Chains A and B, each alone.
Chain A
Amino acid sequence: MIIEQTRNALQTLFPEADPGIDLQVQQEDSETTAESSDKQEDTVRTNGVIERDYQVHGYHIDAQVDPEQLLEAVGIVDSLGYFIESITGVDWIKENQLEVVYDFSRYDFDLCRVVIRTRVDRDAPVVPSITSIYAGANWHERETHDFFGIKFEGHPHLIPLLLPEDADFHPLLKDFKA
């Protein structure tokens, strides 16, 4: 039930998209579970909400949003009582993009895991900070800044957390050379 509620709430961010189509995609995806369908989906993935098969992926709702929509999307998740699990990045070097991934989960027995992702240009990776909504995002964002060089606009204290204080490298970028 909460899955539906969350999906509908996040769907309001995409007024022009038809949620039925996304669900169709999901059903096909879970039926075939072929390597190629997932791969293709990643490359052509547009913003929107997709319901995933929990048994396969380990989470329920997968929403890709614009960086400008991020605060709104996280605000929705916050108002529905989710807790923040982690923030991380993925370097899609072939597409010249960096992806920031936000994981949310619930304390109650209405099991629903929400993943919010946003993609930014690799040359100017800037996303808004969500520390104003989730105070616990502070370290996660600093860590993501350490590893990927993604700038979180509005972060109160964006200095290296895990890397040395004078670190000017970002080890999880795919073109990082030690």
Chain B
Amino acid sequence: MSVPVRIQPDETFVLNVGPQHPATHGVLRVKMEMDGEYIVDAETVIGYIHRMHEKMGELKTYPQFYMNLSRMDYLGAMGYSHGHVLLVEKAAGIEVPERAEYIRAITVELNRISSHLFWFGAFVMDLGGFSPLMYALQDREHILDMLERITGSRLTYSYYRFGGLYNDIDDEFIESARRFIPRMRKSLKKYDRLVTGNIIFQKRLIGNAVLTQETCRKYGASSAVARGSGINYDVRKNEPYSVYPEFDFDVPVYNEGDSLARYKVRMAEIEQSLRIIEQGLDKLPGGPIMPKKAPKIIKPPAGDYYQAVETARGNFGIRLVSDGGKNPYRLKLRSPTYSNMHLFDETCKGMLIMDALAFMGSLDLVIPEIDR
């Protein structure tokens, strides 16, 4: 004998998304109070893969800790290593040969493309389209193979050294990078035809989770999350570092503030990264990749130093408080998706759960980077 299910009109229930859920792309949990399919309230729970990088930073010497930076964000490791070496070089006063800085910029941009490609595939897969991931991984594979040849690693590169690089690039790398540029440009057109105009894709994303500039400011959002809301903020332009002032590139900005705008920003960024790589290869100076007098023991003078860089996921900041010793007195890692994810709770209120998951995908989350 069946009893009809009775639901009170104002009844809500708690839905637990994660910590193991395919839509969260890692161990992230969101407690959602649901009214049917609508989110009434949400609380993000993070810290499932917290590794206390900042304590390790205090316990290890500078070169020992350097390896940790690649383990923060497994999709865009170069950017994080870059921030760390720039900070320590600034604090300890180490000169970097120009060739090394150019190669750093080239590899960071290659890594940014590979990160964006993976995000693109995973994001479209979140929305139900499987094949773009396969195409994206094909292109990404080219980058990973290139980087593997010179760095010896496919994800956790740790390619830079304080003062320069671990290994110089060779003709084969340059030739391979030159081959990659037209290939990627062709692929971008393909992705555009395959995905951007797709009616399901557009209906899911246009007007989805519109972020205002004020929300971005109050949460400190960066990367495509800010740039999709009309904020022209890119650390490479706003706070130039390394050799980025030498390159002619644009910062894509869209004003709509919805998930489609965030998608468009990232796809346009791939083209801009290609431009930087192209110019970097053209201008690549000769010379050494390490300074003649690279200090063996790194002891920055006592003081407080800060360095921000634009990684694939946004504004990554690193603060060093030195007491003049071999280990940092305090090392703070400010990760970009930490701030980007934080605005999820407030924004997703009143949204349908599937829209909220599309929004979450558009934030480009890498959980180990949030949890640190």
Contact = CB atoms under 8 A, between A and B. Distances in A.
Contacts of A86: 220, 317, 319, 332, 334
Contacts of A85: 220, 308, 315, 317, 334, 339
Contact of B217 (A81, A113, A139): A81
A58 B329 contact: no
B218 A39 contact: no
A36 B50 CA distance: 36
Given A171-B55, A172-B55, A35 B302 contact: yes
A82 B233 CA distance: 13
A162 B371 contact: yes
Nearest to B300: A35
A62 B232 CA distance: 25
Nearest to A38: B303
A101 B324 contact: no
Interface stretch (A5-13, A15-23, A65-73, A103-111): A103-111
B315 to A, nearest CB: 7
Given A84-B219, A101-B319, A107-B217, A113 B342 contact: no
B216 interface: yes
B61 interface: no
Given A107-B217, A134-B218, A35 B324 contact: yes
Nearest to A41: B303
Given A90-B321, A103-B317, A147-B54, A38 B301 contact: yes
Interface of A: 33-35, 38-39, 42, 56-59, 62, 81-86, 88, 90-91, 101, 103, 105-109, 111, 113, 115, 134-136, 138-139, 147, 160-164, 171-172
8 contacts: A56-B305, A58-B306, A105-B315, A107-B217, A107-B233, A108-B232, A139-B338, A172-B58
Interface of B: 46-47, 50, 52, 54-55, 58, 87, 90, 213, 216-221, 226, 231-233, 237-239, 301-308, 315, 317, 319, 321, 323-324, 329-330, 332, 334, 338-339, 342-343, 346, 371-372
